[in-house]
Chains A and B, each alone.
Chain A
Amino acid sequence: MRRMCSPRATAGLALWALALVAARPASAQLNVQAYSIDNFQGGQCGGGDRSWSEMLGNWYFGMTFFGFHNGTRFWVDGDFNRSLLCDPDTGLSDCKDYKYADSADAVMIGFHGGDSGKHWYGLMRKLAADGKDCNITAPDAPGNGQLFLGDVEAEFFHMSSCNSMNDNNMPNTWRFFEDPVDSPGNGRRLHQATGFHGMMGIGSGYDVDYLLFSMSAQFASIKDAWMDTMYHPEMANVKCPVAYAVGTSKNNCFTRIDHESYHNVYSDPSAINYYCYYYYDKCDPASQGPFTPPE
């Protein structure tokens, strides 16, 4: 079993934490949660095993250990099915995102993901209560999809999953930033999501990326921190991060994505009229073509 820190390191990190806490701008601590699947082969839905929890653990550790934010849940494997991520307004009786993925301010997920051609979907470890569905599915049109975040608590949603931000899905990605039933009434919406165009990588070499992301996003914008730390042009299979936000206008959207950090959190978008995103020019990962924004 891996350990994160030796006692000596812990003392050093505590000093660092003290320095950070003393200097950061006054703002509320975020509620932080992470959800990952490492062991797919022991589940019911197929897929290869990956060490997602190590990578997410570094982000969670960076967010929580230093004392900035409150880590309230780190879920690994177990009965991981769509109920942790799907919204009850879908009409699906097992959906409880209000207790899980939509119950924290900053959430990171880690598991395999696919692209329908119009939306991302994630591979779960266990079947849903209906005994049929092994996926969590993002919406691509009014009336479909299961993933609707932000109507309860979530502001930042980090997707460590293949195809989670594919270029062709940009026109529909904003649809999971709100719950069409609850958000118009309560005004609550997701602020920003981050993910990958095409195939991403999982392994020990990426652990430091997730740690640096958590550190940098306390000072720089979350978008900048994600893009800076997750891009790997030096690899044979390039890794292509994307950061995405919404706003009432073009300017509102860019202002949000350019300025929001974990310690500079804006109020929820009052409507989604525009979406905006950052990507690497012509970034060409395995399993997808070069990133090309849809017209």
Chain B
Amino acid sequence: MKRLIRAVPFAAAGVLLAGSAPAQETCPGFRDMAEAAVPTAAGDREVMARLLGVKVGAQLSQSFDPATAEKAVGDHLHPDAGCRRAGAAPCFYRNRISGSVLHLKLPAGRATYLNPSRRFLGARGVDNPVTEAEAQRLALAGFAGFGVPAAEMGPPFVRALMAATQDAALKTKTQILKAEVHVNVQRHVEGTPVFASRLMAAVSAKDQIARLYVEWPDFSLLPGLSPAGTRPRPAVVESVVEKMGADNPCGSVAHVMAHIAYVPARLADPQEEDNGGAEGENAGAFVPALVVFAVPPEARDGEVQLGEEQFVVPLLTPPPR
């Protein structure tokens, strides 16, 4: 029995940097799935050179302005004592009357606005009338007001959050209400997705932003990366196969999806994470890497459904330390 108290345990990093030697032969089908999923661009030096040559404009830590953000969400927020505009320490802005807060952690790229006074109240039993188009307009204006670079915003995903209720004895029909409209945006740099960066805004019934999340670390590439360090595609495939084989019993993967993305260096290289983790020297540094999803088959009756496994495989050898 391994009982852990107080300390936060972490399993072995979900990242594998395999050499080009073939992995121990694994389950039938795993290699074919990996071959089919790994894009042909993996192992292509020209593609890696292009990915390493991107230029970005002003980043969040430069473009964020508390006054503009405050205006974007229509709130009056005051910084806590000790907030230093130019400092890296986290900072809270608050409206002590409404209870709203704006948490900033720049340049880690995190800004979170929460206004509980704009929450949906299901007990009123009234639908939120805001349209998807209006919610999208408000959300995009909010993101812009927070200084998110427009060129890096992908297409928005707009979806209604619904509320439902029913009596436990099931004597009445389920009552359903439209609660909020949520807008999610993924990040791209010159057309390439940026992993684990995103925007989200919840629009309330009064056409106000109730909550807004910005996870948009300043973009820079990890120093020392070179197209010369491009891992051959067979080595990348081998890494995928090895990770699949290590974690998944035979027959427990239906298919594999993979795409190239800019990935925070700490997620693409376990050593990088050990050298400071999310808050380390290269917290804002990204590397081109392969984001992989091993999708289990749909469970049959009586079978447990295995969860989808996500892991990252390096496309470049890490720079020397």
- The answer on A and B forming one complex is yes
Question: Are B277 and A9 in contact, CB atoms less than 8 angstroms apart?
Answer: yes
> Smallest CB-CB separation from B278: which chain A residue?
A9
Q: How many Å lie between the Cα of A78 and that of B90 in the bound state?
A: 37
Q: How many Å lie between the Cα of A53 and that of B215 in the bound state?
A: 22
* Residue from the list A19, A233, A237, A275 in contact with B165, Cβ < 8 A: A275
Question: Are A204 and B311 in contact, CB atoms less than 8 angstroms apart?
Answer: yes
Q: How many Å lie between the Cα of A81 and that of B135 in the bound state?
A: 46
Nearest-CB distance from A195 to chain B (Å)?
Answer: 12
Q: Which A residues are in CB contact (< 8 Å) with B163?
A: 254, 276-278
Which of B41-49, B54-62, B67-75, B116-124 lies at the interface?
B116-124
Which of A89-97, A150-158, A185-193, A221-229 lies at the interface?
A221-229
Supposing A78-B1, A216-B114 touch, asked if A19 and B277 sit within 8 A by C-beta, the answer is no
Which of chain A's residues 183-219 have a Cβ closer than 8 Å to chain B? 198-206, 208, 212, 215-216, 219
Question: Are B312 and A280 in contact, CB atoms less than 8 angstroms apart?
Answer: no
Question: Are A162 and B305 in contact, CB atoms less than 8 angstroms apart?
Answer: yes
Question: Are B174 and A293 in contact, CB atoms less than 8 angstroms apart?
Answer: yes
Q: Tell me, yes or no, whether A295 is within 8 Å of chain B by CB.
A: yes
Q: How many Å lie between the Cα of A74 and that of B11 in the bound state?
A: 13
Question: Are B307 and A199 in contact, CB atoms less than 8 angstroms apart?
Answer: yes
Question: Are B119 and A221 in contact, CB atoms less than 8 angstroms apart?
Answer: yes
> Smallest CB-CB separation from B100: which chain A residue?
A219
Cβ contacts B1-23/A at 8 Å (1 or 0 each): 11111111111111100000000
Which of B144-152, B226-234, B242-250 lies at the interface?
B242-250
Question: Are A48 and B309 in contact, CB atoms less than 8 angstroms apart?
Answer: yes
Q: Tell me, yes or no, whether A148 is within 8 Å of chain B by CB.
A: no
> Smallest CB-CB separation from A196: which chain B residue?
B307
Supposing A6-B277, A171-B170, A254-B121 touch, asked if A48 and B306 sit within 8 A by C-beta, the answer is yes
Q: Tell me, yes or no, whether A113 is within 8 Å of chain B by CB.
A: yes
Question: Are B249 and A171 in contact, CB atoms less than 8 angstroms apart?
Answer: no
Number of residue pairs A-B, CB distance < 8 angstroms: 314
Interface of A, helix, strand, loop or mixed by DSSP: mixed
Q: How many of chain B's residues have a CB under 8 angstroms from any CB in A?
A: 102
Question: Are A12 and B279 in contact, CB atoms less than 8 angstroms apart?
Answer: yes
Q: Tell me, yes or no, whether A286 is within 8 Å of chain B by CB.
A: yes
Q: Tell me, yes or no, whether A20 is within 8 Å of chain B by CB.
A: yes
* Residue from the list A13, A50, A278 in contact with B90, Cβ < 8 A: A13
* Residue from the list B8, B114, B167 in contact with A4, Cβ < 8 A: B8
Supposing A121-B304, A281-B162 touch, asked if A203 and B112 sit within 8 A by C-beta, the answer is no
- Please indicate which of the listed interface residues B116, B164, B305 has the most CB atoms of chain A within 10 Å of its own CB: B305
Question: Are B122 and A53 in contact, CB atoms less than 8 angstroms apart?
Answer: no
* Residue from the list B105, B116, B159 in contact with A220, Cβ < 8 A: B116
Q: Which B residues are in CB contact (< 8 Å) with A202?
A: 307-310
Question: Are B123 and A250 in contact, CB atoms less than 8 angstroms apart?
Answer: yes
* Residue from the list B161, B200, B274, B293 in contact with A236, Cβ < 8 A: B293
Question: Are B312 and A204 in contact, CB atoms less than 8 angstroms apart?
Answer: yes
Can you sample 25 A-B contacts with CB below 8 Å? A9-B276, A23-B92, A23-B94, A48-B249, A48-B309, A49-B246, A76-B4, A78-B1, A116-B302, A117-B301, A199-B307, A201-B293, A203-B309, A203-B311, A219-B116, A220-B116, A231-B182, A234-B157, A237-B293, A250-B167, A272-B168, A277-B163, A280-B159, A287-B299, A293-B174
Show the binding face of B for A, using Cβ within 8 Å. Answer: 1-15, 80, 82, 88-92, 94, 99, 101, 103, 105, 112, 114, 116, 119-123, 154, 157, 159-170, 173-176, 178-179, 182, 184, 186, 195-196, 198, 200, 202, 210-211, 213, 215, 246-249, 252-253, 257, 267, 270, 273-280, 291, 293, 295-296, 298-299, 301-312
Show the binding face of A for B, using Cβ within 8 Å. Answer: 1-6, 8-9, 12-13, 15-16, 19-20, 22-23, 38-39, 41, 46-54, 57, 60-61, 64, 71-79, 112-117, 121-123, 135, 161-163, 170-171, 174, 198-206, 208, 212, 215-216, 219-221, 224, 227-229, 231, 233-237, 246, 250-251, 253-255, 257-259, 261, 272-281, 283, 286-287, 293-295
The 3 closest A-B pairs by CB, nearest first: A203-B310, A9-B279, A254-B122
